[in-house]
A and B are shown apart, each in its own frame.
Chain A
Amino acid sequence: MTARLRQAIPPVAVFVAVLGLWELAVRAFGISQFLLPRPTAIAIALSEHADELATVGRNTLVEAVGGFAIGGGAALVVGFATARWVAASRVLLPFAIAANSVPIIAFAPIMNNWFGILNPLSKMMVVAVLVFFPIMINTLRGLTLVDPASIELMRSYATSELDVFRTVRVPNALPYIFTAVKVSATLSLIGAIVAEYFGGAQSVLGQFIITEAAFFRFANAWAAIVVASAISIAFFLIILGVERVALPWHASARAGREA
C-alpha cells in the first residue's frame, strides 16, 4: 500500500503544480476571465452552483448510463451471435465497419426527430450507437481470436460446442470486452453532452455549458466541465473495479508479464 501511495505522489504533485501555475499565470499576465478563468474562480463557481450542477450532472449521467446500457447490451448480443454464426459475421461485419466510419454524432438531430427532442431517449440513442461498435467488435474478436491449439485440446476431450464456448471462448473474450467497455464509459459521457448541444431538456450538462457560455459566465461553464470530467472518471473507475473483481487473473497476469 505504501508503494502504491508513493506511486500516486508524482501525478498528484504534477496536478497541483499545473493548477498553481495556471492560477499564477492568469494573475501575472492579466488574462481576462473571459478567456481563461482562474482555478480558484472555477472552484468558487463549483461551490456556488453545487445544487444545480448536481442536478444537471445526474440528468446527463442517466442519459450516458442509459445509452451505454442499451448500446453495450445490444453489442454483446450481436457480438455473441456473430461469433456463434460465422456466416452471419461475414454478412454483417462490412456493414458494421461502414457504420463505424460514419460520424455518429451527426445523427443527433435525427435522433431528436425520432425520439422527441425532450425525451432523454434521443440522447441515449446517440450514446448507444456510439458505444455499440467498439464493444461489439471487441466481443467478436475476443470470442474468435482463440489459440487454435486450445480448440484442438477441447476437441480431444470430445466436448460440445457449448462447452468450448463456456470454458474457452467466453473467458478469452472477457479482457477484450472490458477494454472496450472502459473506452465506452468515457465515450458515453462525451456522446451524451454533445447530443445535448443539439437541443432538448434544459437541465443537463450540455445545455448548462451552452447557456453559461452564452452569458459569458465562463467560470460556471468550466465548473460544469469539471463535473463532467469527474463523472467520466468515476464511471471509468467503477468499471475498472468490476474488472479487477471479475478477472483477478488478468490484471495480475499483465503485471506479471511486465515484471
Chain B
Amino acid sequence: MSTVVAIRGVHKVFGAGADRTVALEGIDLEIEKGAFVSLIGPSGCGKSTLLRLIGDLTGVTAGTVQVNGKSAVQARTDHEYGIVFQSPVLFDWRTVQRNVELPIELSGLAPAARAKRAREMLALVELAGFEERYPWQLSGGMQQRVAIARALSFAPSILLMDEPFGALDEMSRERLNLELLRIWQRTGTTIVFVTHSIPEAVFLSTQVAVMSARPGRIVDLIDIDLARPRDELTREQPSYFQHVTRVRESLRRGDGQRTPVAAAP
C-alpha cells in the first residue's frame, strides 16, 4: 500500500492578536491508497479545515501536507482532487450533463470525449436519463449525486467530501452512503470524508480519525474492520455497534481533554 496523503506536524492558526484562533495543532495523519478515512469531531474542531488543507483550499501555518509525494498546491494543479461540499454547488445555467463536464471542459478535454465521460459518471451515480435536466429540477439527494459524478469526472486520485450528506434526510443519507460505498469499490478512489455523524463514519470508513475541539487535534485513529461489502445488514451487526460505541467514547474523551475541570467528579 502506498501513501496518498501524508500530513506532518500541521498547525493552522486563523487571525492574529486577540482574534487569534488555533484551529489545528500538531496534526499527523497518513492516508493509504484506496482508504476511506472519515474525520469526525465536534463543531469547530477543524475537521473541515483539515480537509481544506489537504485540498489546498487554504494553506498551513506550519508543517507539511503531501499528496502523492507532491505539495498540495502541485497536486491541485495536477487535478488530483475531486471535491464535494455540503451543498451541491451546481450551476443553474448548465444542464446536469454540462455540470458534470465542467472540470474536464476546463482541463481541455475534447467535447465528444467529455460528453462520453460525463454520461459514464452519471450512469455510475445512477442518474442515466437525467442528462438534459437542470439542477433545480432534481431533488437534493440527486443534486448531490450529480456533484459526486462531477468530482469523479476527471478520475481524481483523491476524493474530498465535506459533510456531503449533511443537508439530506436520514433515508436519502443512508441510501447515498450505500451508493458511495459501491462507487468507492468500483473506482478505488481514496476518500477523505468529513462528517459529524458517528453511524455514517463507522458504516463507510476503513479508518475514523476522531478529533477534539480548539485546538483541533486527532485524538484517536480507529480501524473499522467490519466485513465488506457492507450493506443494510451491516448496520444491525453487534460489531457495528461496538465500533459506534468505540468512536463515541473516543469523542467523549477528546471532549474531556478539552475541559478537564468540568469532567472532574
State the A residues within 8 Å of B (CB): 147, 149-150, 152-159, 163, 167-168, 171, 174, 247, 249-250, 252-253, 256-257
Contacts and interface: CB of A to CB of B under 8 A. Distances in A.
A202 B26 CA distance: 81
Given A153-B83, A156-B82, A250-B93, 6 more contacts: A149-B87, A150-B91, A156-B83, A157-B103, A249-B94, A250-B92
- Main secondary structure on A side of the interface with B: helix
Most chain-B CB neighbours within 10 Å: which of A168, A253, A256? A253
B17 to A, nearest CB: 25
B55 A252 contact: no
A153 B85 contact: yes
Given A156-B76, A168-B91, A149 B85 contact: yes
A249 B134 contact: yes
B209 interface: no
Interface in B130-179: 134, 136-137
Interface residues of B, number: 23
Contacts of B55: 156
B59 to A, nearest CB: 12
B106 A163 contact: yes
B93 A149 contact: no
B89 interface: yes
A168 B91 CA distance: 8
Contacts of A168: 91
A252 B91 contact: no
A134 B89 CA distance: 28
Contact of B106 (A167, A171, A252): A167
Interface string B31-42: 000000000000
> When A and B form their complex, which 6 residue pairs have the shortest distance between CB atoms, in order from nearest?
A171-B93, A156-B83, A149-B89, A158-B77, A249-B93, A159-B106
Contacts of A147: 89
B240 interface: no
Residue among A157, A159, A249, A250 with most chain B CB within 10 A? A157
Interface of B: 55, 57, 76-79, 81-83, 85, 87, 89, 91-94, 102-103, 106-107, 134, 136-137
A257 B134 CA distance: 12
A252 B103 CA distance: 25
Nearest to B95: A249
A157 B91 contact: no
Contacts of B103: 157
Given A157-B103, A158-B79, A253 B92 contact: yes
Contacts of B136: 253, 256-257
Contact of B81 (A156, A171, A174): A156
Contacts of A156: 55, 57, 76, 81-83
Contacts of A154: 106
A258 to B, nearest CB: 11
Contacts of A150: 89, 91
Contacts of B85: 149, 152-153
A257 B93 CA distance: 14
A154 B136 CA distance: 20
Nearest to B76: A158
A163 B102 CA distance: 11
B107 A157 contact: yes
Contacts of B82: 156
Which of the listed residues A156, A159, A247 has the most CB atoms from chain B within 10 Å of its own CB?
A: A156
Contacts of A174: 93
Nearest to A150: B89
6 contacts: A150-B89, A152-B83, A152-B85, A156-B55, A167-B106, A256-B134
